[in-house]
Copies of this chain bind each other. A is one copy, B any other.
Amino acid sequence: MNELRVALAQTNSTVGDLTGNAAKILHYMEKAKALGADLVAFPELALTGYPPEDLLLKPQFVAESKATLHKLVKATQGITAIIGFVDSDTDIYNAAAIASNGSLAGVYHKIYLPNYGVFDEDRYFKAGNECPVFTVGDSRIGVNICEDIWHALGPITLQKDAGAQVIININGSPYDSGKLSFRERFLATRARDNEIYVCYLNLIGGQDELVFDGASMIFDPQGTLIARGKQFEEDLIIADLDMRSLLRHRLHNPLRRKGRVAEPAIAARATTLEVSAPRPESRPPLSPKHVDPLGPDAEVYAALVLGTHDYVRKTGFDRVLIGLSGGIDSSLVAAVAADALGPESVVGIAMPSRYNAPESLADAQLLATNLGIEFHSIPIEDIFKASLGTLDQLFAGTEPNVAEENLQARIRGNILMALSNKFGWLVLTTGNKSEMAMGYATLYGDMAGGFAVIKDVPKTLVYQLSAYRNSIDGREAIPATVMEKPPTAELRPNQKDEDSLPPYPVLDPVLKAYVEEDRSFDEMLRMGFDETVVKQVISGVDRNEYKRRQAPPGVKITPRAFGRDRRFPIINGFKAF
């Protein structure tokens, strides 16, 4: 027995739903057994969902989660399972249970707790300080969790020294564009540096602002990728790891026995534990699983679709409602929603005003037809007139300004919310990241809704994704006229976005430098950006934190999203120029 059949169950948990998550774990455990796997692994906190946030401060939640784990342990007859859960003694731990043949062989506690970006793990967990290695048949397995493997001198060094041949690294690693190739690069290096099999398992699914992309991977001890799972879909990645070839590889490695200068960075103890699951008598042959990664636009689009699907379904909504302006943002959101939920679950509402071009309504209608979604037009003129009349006395003697413009956006917000309240539909908002950054959106107006699908998508990427969407089913979903007309909010005669903002191809790179990279004023000038634009960006972004604080959540797709990922004070006297 020089072969270990490993199954990585890349599942979609729901935060807090212990019963549902346990059922899913059982389901995949049976599937792995049927495929003759020696070992099946589940993602980080698969049992509680990730991240459970302040649910972790409820002793009741922690106790029930642990009780559920013990039921799962009993179900591991004939297999070894690694299950992410919350362990507790006098404190709580982000943990992996190693269970086999109905009993618990051991527990690993995560050592490196991320506390940056969207992560708050120091807030909740105590760090572990043991690095057990488990003997499964003839194979020796080290288990660790997520950030643990990012550290070259972390648990992997101790586990390797204690004889591990295979590392199972379970993750709750949120998606952003570009992260996949980064992961692949450093995991390959870890495998090769330690002459070890690296099994990287990541969950999938949407949780509030986050979407997890899966794409689990297995690397051989030379750092070669030997299996990869789907992105944004549940999957079972299964491979046979050959321990004999591992030994051959190690014996032929000229770097062997040179030792190392650096000590492991952690004060942790390595132990070895026997695991008892019998090997299956016979098992089906296996062809290794290798899913090619999506292209860049397809990847972001899939992230939006899954994030939207899971937010809507996991919060229990049947249908969604979208205000369709005939512009590209709402068109893309409608396409994402139709792809995520099915066109029958999407209702588009146009709300024309005196300032809307007739083409806008026609474009909205055509889009709805193309997507096959329900469509209604509700003109706002009567309410707008009544509102102006009501405010007439107090507004007397003032010039029309943003007040009259926002009034229209808020009447639309009110109509959508009335339909939401009447029929129980969730409103999706349509603002993009460029607008959110600059505050070019109306609070309680177009910002009103439960989920902001493209709030982390810069406007230039909105165009790219729309073109991508139009390319996939062979016929235009988003009308060409929508793609081509200049962006406008249509809240006053002849208004264009470019009256208030730099052209998006100019704006977006500056926003990226300021928001995602925290570049200083001087640095941005040195990067060659126009000084006026840079100043406009800094002021716009800083001044509008209060609006973003009241925005609905939406899918994070960039390395730094607004929301929990970027925590700025509203009261902020810092002058960046």
Residues of A participating in the B interface, judged by any CB pair closer than 8 Å: 14-20, 49, 51-55, 57-61, 115-116, 120, 122-123, 206-208, 310-311, 314-315, 376, 378-380, 382-383, 385-387, 389-391, 394-395, 398, 401-404, 406-407, 410-411, 413-415, 417-419, 421-422, 443-444, 448, 450, 518, 520-523, 546, 549-553, 566-576
The interface residues of chain B lying within 8 Å CB-to-CB of A418 are 387, 391, 403-404, 406-407, 410
The interface residues of chain B lying within 8 Å CB-to-CB of A550 are 550-552
Asked if A571 and B386 make an inter-chain contact with CB atoms under 8 angstroms apart, the answer reads no
Minimal Cβ-Cβ distance residue in B for A209: B570
Expressed in whole angstroms, the minimum distance between the Cβ of A519 and any Cβ of chain B is 8
The interface residues of chain B lying within 8 Å CB-to-CB of A413 are 410, 444
CB < 8 Å neighbour of A386 from B20, B385, B406, B572:
B385
**What's the number of copies of this chain in the assembled complex?**
2
The interface residues of chain B lying within 8 Å CB-to-CB of A575 are 19
Asked if A394 and B378 make an inter-chain contact with CB atoms under 8 angstroms apart, the answer reads yes
Asked if A410 and B414 make an inter-chain contact with CB atoms under 8 angstroms apart, the answer reads yes
Asked if B390 and A573 make an inter-chain contact with CB atoms under 8 angstroms apart, the answer reads no
Expressed in whole angstroms, the minimum distance between the Cβ of A331 and any Cβ of chain B is 22
Given contacts A55-B568, A549-B552, A553-B549, contact A391 B415 (CB under 8 A): yes
A394 to B406: give the CA distance in the assembly, Å: 24
Asked if B378 and A58 make an inter-chain contact with CB atoms under 8 angstroms apart, the answer reads no
Given contacts A386-B385, A521-B60, A567-B120, contact A572 B417 (CB under 8 A): no
A314 to B572: give the CA distance in the assembly, Å: 8
Given contacts A417-B444, A422-B401, A546-B315, contact A208 B570 (CB under 8 A): yes
The interface residues of chain B lying within 8 Å CB-to-CB of A60 are 520-523, 576
Asked if A571 and B385 make an inter-chain contact with CB atoms under 8 angstroms apart, the answer reads no
Q: Can you sample 11 A-B contacts with CB below 8 Å?
A: A16-B572, A55-B572, A57-B518, A60-B520, A314-B571, A382-B389, A386-B386, A387-B418, A403-B419, A410-B444, A413-B444
Asked if B573 and A17 make an inter-chain contact with CB atoms under 8 angstroms apart, the answer reads yes
